[in-house]
Amino acid sequence: MHAQARILLLSKYPRKGASSRLRFLQFLPGLEAEGFKIKQSPLFDDNYLQRKYNKERISLIRIFVLYLRRALDLFSAKGYDILWIEGEIFPFLPACAERILAALGVKLIIDYDDAIFHRYDLSTSRLIRGVLGKKIQQVMRVATLVTVGNEYLAAYARAAPAPSVVVIPTVVDKERYRPALKRSPQLVVGWIGTPVTTKYLRKIAVELQGACRRHGARLTLIGADRAARDLFPGDFLEILSWSEAEEAAMLADIDVGIMPLETSPWEEGKCGYKIIQYMAAGSAVVASYTAANAAILKRGNCGVVVDQNCNWFEALSSLLKDRSNLEALGLNGRKAVEEEYSLQAQLPRITRFMTAVSKGEDIDSEAESTSCAA
């Protein structure tokens, strides 16, 4: 092992924030084992995140304090070889910080697992569209490397144009997720998410309930808003509180994992992480159509995409009626996770990118992106 770069990680959240935990923090032990020296500095804290999930008011004074803390972090930026940034340095402010740092010769690796540019260019506010509509393009142009979770985001980055773009799927630690022998006579349909994303269950509630009742399946919702109980009357529903320590074990009991979405440009930016969790747990999958979801399910050969030719009742019923097929699909998905959608598969790529950027070496964006099917 040889000395590697010093990295300042400007994540959006601490560990409780899913995007920060999955796109950055789970890779830190492996990168540090390779000699990288990494300091994490999240923009928001756990209190902010909890208030956001609880839909509570967050004071402007508190946000100002958090932004000021980040601004102070930037004074040390020249002491690092790389700034590793989640999306943008200051949300809802112009790209001044990124442009100044790049002009000073600081190397920026900027990661996207959501279409955050649509917060600006599709905003209902004319002011936000006018001032910030092209902000993320400006950020991408000054980055040394842009990493993204799917091809929709990659296409935007290439058009910006970013100097170098690679696709890295949002992955799981395959050692934490272990498929269980699903021997219960009652099948389980499951969903994992947050109180904020519970909204995606509303439009499919009738079809989901109908399929579960038709096939005698139990419905398990992990991390859902308690109000979700009103969507599914009866005793077939179980709502479990999410925890990082227990999520893998809870998912191991699921036979069919679901990922419903709305249809909008924002959803096209999502990277199919729920699907990959279900695959890692050895579960079959039913997911709303997006290009990213369809690509993952095609690569994994592990489930059904719901598009204009299929509804949720039909898609779920096609799987729930055939237990042996469920098991085969689950095995397929698990294999794809081990080969591609795991921390263990992607860590060597990220290590390679970090090393190349720190040394000023070129990255073959086209070859790196085509090596990953997500």
Domain range annotation of the chain: 6-171+343-370, 188-339
Q: Is 188-339 in the same CATH topology as 6-171+343-370? A: yes
Q: How many CB atoms lie within 10 A of CB 195?
A: 17
Q: 342 φ, ψ to 5°?
A: -130, 155
pLDDT score for 1:
45
Report the relative pairing of strands 237-240 and 218-222 from DSSP bridges. parallel
Residues paired with residue 117 on neighbouring β-strands, in sequence order: none
pLDDT score for 137:
98
pLDDT score for 365:
61
Q: What is the 3-state secondary structure (H, E, C) of 72-104?
A: HHHCCHHHCCEEEEECCCCCCCCCHHHHHHHHC
How far apart are the two ends of the chain, measured CA to CA in Å? 31
Q: 310 φ, ψ to 5°?
A: -155, 145
CATH number of 188-339: 3.40.50.2000
C-alpha to C-alpha distances, 205 to 46, 210, 229, 298, 313, nearest whole angstrom: 31, 8, 11, 26, 10
Residue 168: HSE in the Cβ half-sphere, 13 Å Cα cutoff: 29
pLDDT score for 373:
44
Q: How high is the mean pLDDT in each 10-residue block of the chain (374 residues)?
A: 81 93 97 96 90 84 95 95 98 98 97 97 97 98 98 98 97 92 85 92 94 95 90 90 93 96 93 96 96 96 89 95 93 97 97 95 66 47
Of 323, 341, 236, 342, the residue nearest 283 (C-alpha): 323
pLDDT score for 117:
98
Q: What's the mean per-residue pLDDT of the chain? A: 93
Of 279, 278, 293, the residue nearest 220 (C-alpha): 278
Residues paired with residue 148 on neighbouring β-strands, in sequence order: 112, 167
- H helices of 182-226, in order, are 205-214
C-alpha to C-alpha distances, 300 to 219, 264, 279, 290, nearest whole angstrom: 24, 24, 8, 15
> Residue 237, class by beta-carbon neighbours within 10 Å (0-12 exposed, 13-18 middle, 19+ buried)?
middle
Contact predicate 231/219, CB 8 Å: no
CATH superfamily of 6-171+343-370: Glycogen Phosphorylase B; (3.40.50.2000)
Element of type H or E holding 304: strand 303-306
